[in-house]
Structure 1
Amino acid sequence: MTGPRPPGDATGQDLPTRSGWERLGVGLPLVQAPIGGACTPALVAAVGDAGALGMLAGSWLPRAALTDQIRAVQRATARPFGVNLVLEWPQHERLATALDHGVPAISTFWGDPAPYRERIQAAGAVHFHTVGSRAEARAAADLGVDVIVAQGWDAGGHVRGTTATLAFVPAVVDLVSPVPVLAAGGIADARGVRAVLALGARGAWVGTRFLLAEEAGTHPDFRRRLVAATAEDTVHTTVFADGWPDAPHRALRNTTLTRWEAAGRPAAGARPGEHDVIAEHRELGPVRRYADVVPLADHVGDVEAMAMYAGQGVGLATTTEPAASIVADLARGFAAPE
């Protein structure tokens, strides 16, 4: 793909240019995935300052809280960033909030982006849409989405499809060319970035590695589990369904998952301990077992039993470090081989 590169591009890669990626001024075709409540304004700003694109997780925030987070990022950095919206629920008000505050990138996931596309385009924002199937990819390309994120089954958190990154990314690239594709799922170091570029992706979408960023709101016990975990410790499951039912996800095996499996994976209403309050947060309130809630720094209680989302690249995420260091390591994947 040809076209002008944004200011500061040091990768030598051709960057996505449909509908104005170049106006974002992002030096690396690398996006920090919206890692739920652990995604803080400080993390998003640090990723942007390091030359990549940070992404706020806006899907469940009240409009006032989303406004506060957007303004916090804007105070912390002049670099561009985005807001992610999960389309399982109506997101028109949150989209309006983001666009009214000048957010230059909008990411959508888990639903039909068509009702939102016109408003995103009219605002001049770059529209990313994450897909888990060829049919979703084709529909997004036909709609005119600017950048398609091809999420493999390897990914952590909520997983849309059933095909692994290695097979899914090139299939999507071939299907939607020349629409640029970012790869998601199992990418946690420079080797993963280099691999997805070889598959035809124009860049990478990385989540699990950023859970270990110093700026992330990840609970210390969750950090320790991530550092100790390997790919075999992750499970593709539907156990953490309260708050987001019928949505498969990948998480670290823990006591909640083990008890549920031992009981035969029963449906809601028959799950062991499903009324237990396992943790508390001073602002967000109590957490019940099976809730779609990740352990944050201010949670107290049995945080080990909460939803510890992580992708299969978790074994490559071995230490807590500044977001800038994570971006710098991943950026080596864009450099020409020596």
Structure 2
Amino acid sequence: MTGADADGDDRTATAGQMRSAGDRPTTGRTQGAPDSSGGRTNRFPSAMSRLETSLTEMLDLDAPLVQAPIGSATCPELAAAVADAGALGMLAITWRDEAQTREVAAETARRTDGVFGVNIVVDPDAKTVPTETHIQCCLEEGVDVFSFSFGDAAPYVGRIHDHGGTVLQSVGSADEAMAAVDAGVDSIVAQGWEAGGHVQSNVATLPLVPRVVDAVPDTPVIAAGGIADGRGIGAVLTLGAAGAWLGTRFLATPEARVHRLYRQRVLDASETETVYATLYDEGWPNAPHRVLENETVANWRAAGEPETDRPGSNDTVAETGDGTPVRRYEDSLATPELRGEVEQLPLYAGQSAGITRDVLPAAELVRELADETIAALDRTQ
């Protein structure tokens, strides 16, 4: 792994590790130049320099924020809007075939000159397209930021670095973080138990992040799980993180590809209404996840949380736009085109749903989060 030591800068964001990006992998895009569709126009004022961290320097971001790759909710519109606003937009490609992967990567690149990346779940039980195929497609489409979860990024680091790319690895422990850095990973995503969707850790974000920061002190650490506003971002920067990874909050943007009933449930939820389980396992077995409680979850709990013969296990509760049936316990996220009892499907959300209260365009949300973060850090001075 290439890298430099933290430089000890005493600006507000010393909370997030500061370093020179000169010898780190950098993205291959021309940053800040608008494209023919409008491109990167939402640069922040000079006050944003107070949020410079090793992550923003490494990826040439304006704010240390990452829009998490929230499954089928991700799309070029969302990732590009986030990238245009100066944060890192992400696409989830694990469940896309080769043609779909190329299409979303190319379309996102057409929409923005900002920085975006892709996330790949390594676990072979989760998918049919090999990780190597996804990487090749994305490299050929010019993608240069790759994150990996639920598996080891090590076999792919060299190839991505050879193309000038940057590798992020999601972890749930300090030991996993050290192993990833030893393999050459450039940045660590420390995902706490509070996170929505599929969850790698059984440790909460607050104790996990400083453990990981201490374990890999020369590597930018991105905190994930339970973060939905500038107070949370400021908190993890103070813990030593170099950035924050937000998923649930970005479900409440018009660009996110989620069914309106799903989005409304996120907005209405309290912090106590999520459930951590392995319930929705058709399509990805033995993968813990956090969802909002619904009738499917309630009936399963009332039945004693059985692993087999679960209530309604043979039910079809929805169908796609082309009429494909969707079963009750599939791991499918509720996208806009679904018809039927979509609220019975997995409503992936983290405990931060309790502080997600309004719908904002993604670019506006990035600006608001950045402003809130500066205000939160000011209060600690």
TM-score (norm. length: structure 1): 0.95
Over the aligned positions, Cα root-mean-square deviation in angstroms equals 1.7
Q: Which residue pairs with 1:337 in the alignment?
A: 378
Q: In the TM superposition, what is the alpha-carbon distance from 1:258 to its structure 2 partner?
A: 1.1
8 Å CA contact 2:154–2:185 kept in 1: the answer is: no
Q: In the TM superposition, what is the alpha-carbon distance from 1:12 to its structure 2 partner?
A: 2.1
Does residue 1:25 correspond to 2:25, yes or no? no
Secondary structure in 1 matching 2:378 = coil
CA distance in 1, matches of 2:254, 2:158: 37
TM-score (norm. length: structure 2): 0.84
CA distance in 2, matches of 1:117, 1:275: 42
Q: Which residue pairs with 1:228 in the alignment?
A: 268
CA distance in 2, matches of 1:152, 1:186: 8
CA distance in 2, matches of 1:253, 1:4: 43
Q: In structure 2, which of residues 351, 355, 358 is the aligned counterpart of residue 312 of structure 1?
A: 351
Does residue 1:123 correspond to 2:158, yes or no? no
CA distance in 2, matches of 1:69, 1:284: 23
Q: In the TM superposition, what is the alpha-carbon distance from 1:299 to its structure 2 partner?
A: 0.7
Does residue 1:295 correspond to 2:308, yes or no? no
Query: Which amino acid is the alignment partner of residue 211 of structure 2?
Result: A
* Structure 1 residue ranges (4+ consecutive) displaced by more than 4 angstroms after TM superposition: 4-9
Secondary structure in 2 matching 1:222 = helix
May I ask how many residue pairs the two structures share in their alignment?
334
8 Å CA contact 1:24–1:104 kept in 2: the answer is: no
1:131-150 alignment, distance < 5 Å: 131-150=171-190
Q: Which residue pairs with 2:15 in the alignment?
A: none
Q: In the TM superposition, what is the alpha-carbon distance from 1:283 to its structure 2 partner?
A: 4.6
Secondary structure in 2 matching 1:59 = coil
Deviations 1:160-201 (A, max 9, x none): 011100110001000111111010000000100000011110
8 Å CA contact 1:192–1:333 kept in 2: the answer is: no
Secondary structure in 1 matching 2:91 = strand
Q: In structure 1, which of residues 15, 19, 28 is the aligned counterpart of residue 53 of structure 2?
A: 15
Change in 2 beyond 3 A, CA 1:118/1:153: same
CA distance in 1, matches of 2:214, 2:168: 18
Deviations 1:242-293 (A, max 9, x none): 111111111000111111112222223x112111111111158221011101
Q: Which residue pairs with 1:186 in the alignment?
A: 226
Q: In the TM superposition, what is the alpha-carbon distance from 1:74 to its structure 2 partner?
A: 1.3
CA distance in 2, matches of 1:329, 1:168: 26
8 Å CA contact 2:52–2:62 kept in 1: the answer is: no
Q: In structure 1, which of residues 245, 266, 271 is the aligned counterpart of residue 310 of structure 2?
A: 271
1:1-338 alignment, distance < 5 Å: 1-3=18-20, 10-16=48-54, 22=57, 24-89=59-124, 90-268=130-308, 270-283=309-322, 285-335=324-374, 336-337=377-378
CA distance in 2, matches of 1:175, 1:24: 22
Query: Which amino acid is the alignment partner of residue 346 of structure 2?
Result: A
The answer to which of 45-54 and 271-280 deviates more is 271-280
Secondary structure in 2 matching 1:250 = strand
8 Å CA contact 1:16–1:147 kept in 2: the answer is: no
Q: In the TM superposition, what is the alpha-carbon distance from 1:236 to its structure 2 partner?
A: 0.8
Unaligned runs of 5+ in 1: none
Q: Percent identity?
A: 46
8 Å CA contact 2:193–2:204 kept in 1: the answer is: yes
Secondary structure in 2 matching 1:124 = coil
Deviations 1:214-238 (A, max 9, x none): 1111101001101110110011111
